[in-house]
Every structure is written in C-alpha cells, then in structure tokens.
Structure 1
Amino acid sequence: MRSFYIAFILLFSGISISAQTNSIDDSLNIRKIYDMSLLNGKSYAWLDHLSNEIGGRLSGSHGAEQAVEYTKAELENLGLDKVWLQPVMVPKWTRGEREFAYVQTAPGETRNLNITALGGSIATPAGGTKAKVIEVQGIEQLKEYGRENIEGKIVFYNRPMRADHIQTFEAYGGCVDQRYSGAEEAAKYGAVGVIVRSMNLRMDDLPHTGAMSYGDLPNDQRIPAAAVSTNDAQYLSGMLKIQNDLDLYFKMSCEIHEDVQSYNVIGEITGSKYPNEIMIVGGHLDSWDLGDGAHDDGAGVVQSMEVLRLLKETGYEPKRSIRVVLFMNEENGLRGGNKYAEVAKLKSEDHVFALESDAGGFTPRGFGITANDTQFKKILSWKRLFKPYLIHYFERGGGGADINPLKGGDMVLAGLRPDSQRYFDYHHAANDTFDKVNKRELELGAATMTSLIYLVDKYGLDNINNETVEMPD
C-alpha cells in the first residue's frame, strides 16, 4: 500500500517511477566514482611520474618521447580493449642557453631583467640585440607610432591581463594577441626585437613563455621575441616614463629545427551496445620546458586516463566506445588535435561527445558546454546529481583546443572548468611544478569528468526522452 502511495505521489508530481529509480541509481553510481577516485585514485601518482621523473615535455623533445612511452604502458596496464599510438609530425624548437637581458639606466649602470624566449622565436645575433625601447599597450598602437618611431627599436608590449575579469581566461584572451602576433606586426614597422609583458595576473619575477608566430614573414624579416616578468615590466614602464630613451639588451640562443615524428596516445573501452558511437576524453601530453607542466597539462592527462580506470574499477560497462586521447603538440602547433580529427574523418568515425581538461588541476566547478538547445537541456537535467560535490557551473560555450577540430553537426564538446583564479600564476612558467597541484583537487576533477562521461554514455544526448533524469525539488 505504501509503495502504491509513493507511486501515486510521483505520478502526480510529474516524476515517473523509472526516472526516480534512475536518479537514485545514478546518485549511488556517482558516489562510487567519487569514492574510488578519492580513496583509491591513481591520477596523483601518474602525475608525480610525469612531472618528477620525466619533467618538461615540449613537442619533439626527449621528455615528450618518454611521456608517450610511459602513458601508453600505463593505459595497457589498465586492461583496455585497445591501446595504440597515432603518428603525427610536430614542430621542434629548442631554447638553448638561458636568456639574458638588462636595461641601461645610465652610462655604466644597468639592471638585469627576467626574460624567457617565446616558443618559436628566432635567436638574437650571437652578440645579442641592443636598442632603444618603445612601449605600447597593444598591436593596434603600432599604427599610431608608425615606422618613423619604431624602426630600429625594441617594441615593449605592456598591456596587462585585466584583474577585473572574474573569468581569468577572458583576461588572458584580452591580451594574448600581443604575445602571439606581436613580433610579426612589430617587424613590419622595422623593429629589431620584441619584449612582451608576461600573461600573469600576479606581480612576480617569473617570465611566462608561450607560442608566437611570424605568420608569412620571410625569414630575413623575423625578429627575436621574449616575455618579461610582470615585476620587470612594471619597472621598465616606470623607467620609460622618467627616461624615454633607455637602451635594452637581450640575448637568446633558441633554434627552430625540422619537424619530427611524435604520437597521440589513445586507449579505448569498446561500447557494448553502440560501439560505433565514440566519446572521447583527453588532455595534451606536451608541455612547455620551463617547469614540468603539472597543471598545463599533466593534470588533464592523468585525469583523462583516470576516467577510463574509474569506469572499469566501478564495474560500469559503457554502451558507447569511450576513448582517452592524449594529444601531442597543443602548446605550439595543435598538430595532435588536428591529426586526430583528420583520421576520424578519413575513417568516417561517428564522434558524439568530447570532453577536455586543460585548465589546471584546481578544484572543479563544472563544465563549459557547446551543444544545441536540446542537448544542453538534457545535460542540465543532471545538474543536481553534481550538487553534493559542489559542482554548479553548467554554462554554454566550452570545449578545448584539441577537441575543437571535431566540431560539427550534432557533436557535443565540453571542457572541465576548475577554479581559475590561480591558474595564470603558473601558466607556462618555471613554477608549473608538481608541488603546486593539490592531490584532492586533482582527484575531484577526475571524478567529476568520469561522472559526466557516465551520464552521457548511459542516456545519450540525441533527444529529451524518458531516460532523462528528473530530480525532485
């Protein structure tokens, strides 16, 4: 009689018995996923090895090669249905000797600056580059000064990341163009070098590297480009207000080499019901060379590996094929993401969902999601399942650089969104190291990713139907 009464109440409250049963089962399964990650996780140990035994993993380097071998072996140890390497040609760039710079404040008086070469830059001449400095707040300001004021000088880009953006990636996006295209544009006005304020919200002495491009500039017109720490950018800007004819010297010995072969690392659990429908979860295996790439993107790599391990350990049998893809060369070329999409298209593979983690190993807050209205509504119907884990951010717009080439049709892209307030303290800098990653935060992120993969696989995203989980108020 009591069960009949409960069914009667559920029926007239608009919540079906099957949906109520599903919500309870899903809550228990997600709890199991979080417990397994927090009590018996492997992500932190994997990251320890990547960071402390291998270290920096710049594309084309020995570290990148070691990382491919290590992660492939670990995926094989998980007993997945398939593990393979996908060849991809990647750029190779080496930093050479440590960079050196100073500003001359008076005859015989200098102050050293903390700089680092931008990835892809050419070297300075063997004796270094010395010239007057001109400060600008962005590429658009070059036109205001014109060739007559820029030719023969070093352009100092000093537009900071805006601290009033709560979403720090918006602050990054608002000034990263000066790092990526600053040398290309300044060279057109006759500049002999470029110094760029580091993409960092914090004031410190650490220069942050990152990719740059010369576009279609001929080799003989290319100029060296470096990042300078935020403290030194502030100092240089202050000195230029007092003395606008300062000389700056910098020396770099970086080198661009021929492309080399590397690999994406891929592992798969083959679906039991819809094996031709493919879901992927991934991060990028390469990193910059200044630190050990623990946050960017060692964290995303090991969290993605952990997704497949947690599904197997909890006994869940996916309906769809679920792949972990560890992409090579996100940092300075996106060759891995483009190659994966290219091969998928050639094979006419049906990719239905992709989730990327490339925003650090901090406390997870939720997901950014690129989907149509119906698909997004379905994902929102699962939001309350995440509430006990303080996951609240489910917003339109998301994915990641490596999975974006798969975009098209009804494909759904998602990106894990951790708390981003500290991310740019470490991004592309020498302090992006293992000790900056909190074990519990990393494991919570892995469990959060696994839970979304589980729900998408169980219910699909093609339509709103009776399988959609409805949670009572």
Structure 2
Amino acid sequence: MRRYLLPILLTCAAPAMTMAQQQDSTTIKHIANEVLTHSTAYENLRVLTKQVGGRLAGSPGMVKAEQWGVAALKAAGADTVYLQACMVPHWVRGAHEEARIISKFRDVTPPLNVLALGNSVGSGENGVTAPVLEVSSFDDLEAKKDQVKGKIVFYNYAFNPTFIKTFYSYGDAVKYRGQGASRAAKYGALAVIVRSMSHGANNEPHTGSMTYDTAYAKIPAVAIGLQDADRLSSRLKDDPTAQVFLRTNCEMLQDTIGHNVVGELKGSKYPDQFLTVGGHLDSWDVAEGAHDDGTGCVQSIEVLRTFKALGLRPEHTLRVVLFANEENGTRGGKKYAQLAKERNEKHIFALESDAGGFTPRGFTMTMDAEKKAKIASWRPLFEPYGIYDFEEEGGGVDVGQLHAALGTPMAELSPDSQRYFDIHHAPNDVFENVNKRELELGAFGMAALLYMVDKYFNY
C-alpha cells in the first residue's frame, strides 16, 4: 500500500503550476513527442557520415558536406538557406604514417599506432630516427631540457581519471597536444609523440589541432594510442637506448574557401533579432565525425524541423548555422561573429551542440546572472526528461566567437561525457557509435530551451 501512496503524497506536496507554466509544460511535451516520434536527425546523420564521411576544412569532403547541409536545411523547412563564405586552412595528412621502435634486442615488434596532429609539418620522406626522451609534464621537460637536443620527446601525460566530467580531464591534458611541439623544439627536439587525449580502453590514436610558436623550428608531431604509449614507455625503461623511427607526410597548403551553411525560420514579431543554434560541419579526416560534430549539426537542423512541424513560429528569427572549420582554425565562427558585428545584428541567444550526441544532462551557460537564473528556474520543466544541470559556466567554441564580439548570451548542450573521449578525434568516431534515442533526446532539449528563450528573453 505504501509504495502506491508515496507518489500521491509527493504530488500533493508539489507546488501548483501557474497557467503559463502549464502551457509551457504542454508545449514542451508536444516538442518531445514530435522529436521522439518523427525526428529525421538519425537519418540525416547516417547520410552525412556514410555518404560524405570525413570533412576536414579544405578537403573534397568539406564541399560535399556543405552541399548536404543546404539540402538538409531545405528539407527541414527553412524559409531561407544560404552559404556564408570564409577562408579556411587546408592541411593535408598525406599517405603512409608510421612509427616503430628500433631496439638493440632486435626483436620484431608491431608498429606503433600513431596519427599526425592536425596542422603538423611532415617528417619528410626519410622520416626521423632518434632516441626518445619520455617526459611526464612540461615541468619534467624543463628539468630535462639539457637532454632534449637531437631526440624525439614523448609526452606521456595521462588523462586524470578523477574528474567525473571528463571535459576537465581534456582541458587538463590538451596543452601537451597544442603546445608540446614548440616547447620541445625550443630545446632542439626533432619530433614529438603525444599520449592521446583519451582514457579509452583501446589503442586508437586521437588526432587534433596543434599550433606552432614561430620563434622555434616546426617539428613533426603525432598522437599515439594509449596501449602503445604504455608499450613505448615500458620499452624505454627496459632499454633506454631504444630509438623510434617516425615518418609522416602531412603539409599545410594555401588557404581555400569554405562556407558556413545557414538556414533561417523567420521571426513572427522580431524578424531582425536572432536566436542562433548550431554545430560545426567539419570533422577530422580519419573518421566519419559522427559525434564530433555530426550530431550537433543534425540536432540543430532538427530544432528547425520540429518548430516547423508543430507550427511553432518563433517570435525571433531562428538561425541554424553549420559552422566551417572549428577543428583547426575556428574560421567559420569568427566570420559569423565578424559579419554579425559589422551588420549591427541583434542577437538574443546562441546555443551550440559540440559535446557529442550522448544522453543530455543539461546546459552549460555564460550570460548575466539574471538570465542564467531565469533559465535555471525552468528546471522543473526539463527534469521529467532527465535534463537537470543548469549550473556550469560554458558555451561552444563557435558561438563563443559571437559572445566575444557582441556579448551574446550563450549555452551549450551538456551530454553525459563518460564515453565521449573514447572516440573524440579518433577513427572510431563513426555512425554506429551514436545511439538514436540519445541523439533525439538532445535535439529535444535544444528545441525546448530555444522555445523558452524565444518566449521569455528580450533584446
């Protein structure tokens, strides 16, 4: 008897909803039902990943992805679809990356599983053969700086497993990928090997963008899979004289033209004021870019499709943006913000999805305290759908450009992150690793938040 009585007592104890809250709850339920029943996001993602595939800035895949984006936004019912041109970097991986241990033991060992880091220079056809200096941190590099010259520096810095939100682990470790080559070149290193930005239980190497300090020589940089990172570390302990042969063939070509793909649903009351929602259309070349960031693109398109399907004409113009070149230049986000500022556009809010298509838990937000408190007050409307976390600061990389230029309030969908860095920037970021239900729940959460912002935020 008691098990049936408890929910009744809890219901009685809950404060009564106002008429407006009841209306919002009903509309949000309609949004959920529409997305979970009729969503096209999963099929859109299948086409993007399987028919377009990898779509790094400057590549033929980029062009195909832009064409896909135009078609998908038109099919979703956008009033207007157009391309926004920007110059993007054109880095090419090249063929035949390899690395192997050369040891006095003369035993046959499998090659090391590596991927060149994005924007890295190549080694040249002859490759680099050199002793390896393992370091655990930049402090360790400084302590060993007199040993660096003529060697390959191996940054063996592991993801911190104690962070429950794994993006903190990424933020803690990613400096070795981004800055490691130049920090080592300062002391005469010939190349660097960086432990992948992951805590996954596999040996997939994870690429990603790096930058060079122009004060020092540009040297090749690769990421190494976790199991092979451990194998290399173990071999160096057994045989400190071991060397590594490393060869990559990547190069940076001249900048080329890419595009943001933009679709709009015109506002009924304030057509010259904008709600931006988007993800980035580019991906690394070694995978299908399913979670990073195909899911964010198709979720954003789904927001527009859902509004259209339900006849929810927003008061402000809803603008879906599939951003160019987030991965190795952020040129698309910068161009979007630049044009918004030049045109003196009025932007109410900007929302991004670029943290994977996993189960949504909430939103990270950067805005003034009053607006953040207002969104937090909507938590009871979202909690029935498992969305409850509205506390953390944040926002996506691309909408962050708009926030920096105009002070636009920004937010990012915050999914459960436990599996994201198993696949981030790695060859296993493929369609098969996206769950349809989780993807759709994220799209629903984004649509519901934008419905509420459109109704209650003013410029």
Common fold by TM > 0.5:
yes
1:215 Cα deviation after fit: 2.5
In structure 2, the CA distance between the partners of 1:29 and 1:405, relative to structure 1 (3 Å rule), is same
| Alignment partner of 1:45 out of 43, 46, 56 | 43
Determine if the alignment matches structure 1 residue 20 to structure 2 residue 18.
yes
**Equivalent in the alignment of 1:98:** 96
Work out the number of aligned pairs and report it: 444
Contact 1:118 1:211 in 2 (8 A): yes
Contact 2:273 2:316 in 1 (8 A): yes
| Cα distance in 2 for residues equivalent to 1:325 and 1:297 | 13
Q: 2:173 aligns to what SS in structure 1?
A: coil
| Alignment partner of 2:231 out of 206, 217, 235 | 235
Give 1:106's aligned amino acid. Answer: K
Give 2:443's aligned amino acid. Answer: A
**Equivalent in the alignment of 1:118:** 117
| Cα distance in 2 for residues equivalent to 1:246 and 1:396 | 46
| Alignment partner of 1:394 out of 390, 398, 414 | 390
In structure 2, the CA distance between the partners of 1:107 and 1:125, relative to structure 1 (3 Å rule), is farther
Contact 2:103 2:241 in 1 (8 A): no
Contact 2:149 2:190 in 1 (8 A): yes
| Cα distance in 2 for residues equivalent to 1:183 and 1:90 | 23
1:170 Cα deviation after fit: 0.3
Instruction: Quote the sequence identity (%).
Output: 47
| Alignment partner of 2:365 out of 357, 369, 376 | 369
**Equivalent in the alignment of 1:135:** 134
1:61 Cα deviation after fit: 0.6
TM-score by length of 1: 0.91
| Cα distance in 2 for residues equivalent to 1:136 and 1:330 | 30
Q: C-alpha deviations, 1:26-69, integer Å up to 9, x for none? A: 11111111111111100000000000011001001111100101
**Equivalent in the alignment of 1:292:** 288
Q: What pairs up with 1:8-407 in 2 under 5 angstroms?
A: 20-111=18-109, 112-146=111-145, 148-217=146-215, 221-407=217-403
1:182 Cα deviation after fit: 0.6
| Cα distance in 2 for residues equivalent to 1:131 and 1:156 | 12
| Cα distance in 2 for residues equivalent to 1:27 and 1:50 | 33
| Cα distance in 2 for residues equivalent to 1:98 and 1:410 | 45
Q: C-alpha deviations, 1:167-224, integer Å up to 9, x for none? A: 1000001010110111111111000000000011123211110001113246xx2110
**Equivalent in the alignment of 2:6:** none
Say what the alpha-carbon RMSD is for the aligned residues.
Answer: 1.5
Contact 1:378 1:461 in 2 (8 A): no
**Equivalent in the alignment of 1:446:** 443
Contact 2:160 2:169 in 1 (8 A): yes
Determine if the alignment matches structure 1 residue 427 to structure 2 residue 421.
no
1:83 Cα deviation after fit: 1.1
Give 2:116's aligned amino acid. Answer: A
Q: 1:135 aligns to what SS in structure 2?
A: strand
1:410 Cα deviation after fit: 5.4
Contact 2:76 2:305 in 1 (8 A): yes
Contact 1:372 1:410 in 2 (8 A): no
| Cα distance in 2 for residues equivalent to 1:190 and 1:275 | 57
Q: 1:241 aligns to what SS in structure 2?
A: helix
Q: 2:18 aligns to what SS in structure 1?
A: helix
1:107 Cα deviation after fit: 4.8
Q: 1:283 aligns to what SS in structure 2?
A: strand
Give 2:62's aligned amino acid. Answer: A
Q: What pairs up with 1:409-428 in 2 under 5 angstroms?
A: 411-428=408-425
Give 1:416's aligned amino acid. Answer: L
| Cα distance in 1 for residues equivalent to 2:158 and 2:232 | 14
| Cα distance in 1 for residues equivalent to 2:24 and 2:84 | 35
**Equivalent in the alignment of 1:468:** none
| Cα distance in 1 for residues equivalent to 2:176 and 2:139 | 9
**Equivalent in the alignment of 1:470:** none
Q: C-alpha deviations, 1:383-419, integer Å up to 9, x for none? A: 1000110111111311110011111565211000000
Contact 2:177 2:210 in 1 (8 A): yes
**Equivalent in the alignment of 1:465:** none
1:77 Cα deviation after fit: 2.5
Q: C-alpha deviations, 1:246-293, integer Å up to 9, x for none? A: 101111111210001010000111111122221100000000011100
Contact 1:380 1:394 in 2 (8 A): yes
1:377 Cα deviation after fit: 1.0
Contact 1:103 1:110 in 2 (8 A): no
Give 2:54's aligned amino acid. Answer: G
Contact 1:116 1:209 in 2 (8 A): yes
1:110 Cα deviation after fit: 4.4
| Cα distance in 2 for residues equivalent to 1:140 and 1:261 | 40
**Equivalent in the alignment of 1:4:** none
Contact 1:82 1:269 in 2 (8 A): yes
1:235 Cα deviation after fit: 1.1
Give 1:234's aligned amino acid. Answer: D
Contact 2:56 2:285 in 1 (8 A): yes
| Cα distance in 1 for residues equivalent to 2:392 and 2:37 | 32
1:22 Cα deviation after fit: 1.2
| Cα distance in 2 for residues equivalent to 1:402 and 1:165 | 25
TM-score by length of 2: 0.94
| Cα distance in 2 for residues equivalent to 1:406 and 1:253 | 36
Contact 2:65 2:281 in 1 (8 A): yes
1:461 Cα deviation after fit: 5.5
| Cα distance in 2 for residues equivalent to 1:114 and 1:299 | 27
Q: 1:152 aligns to what SS in structure 2?
A: coil
| Cα distance in 1 for residues equivalent to 2:144 and 2:108 | 27
Contact 1:86 1:264 in 2 (8 A): yes
| Cα distance in 2 for residues equivalent to 1:355 and 1:137 | 37
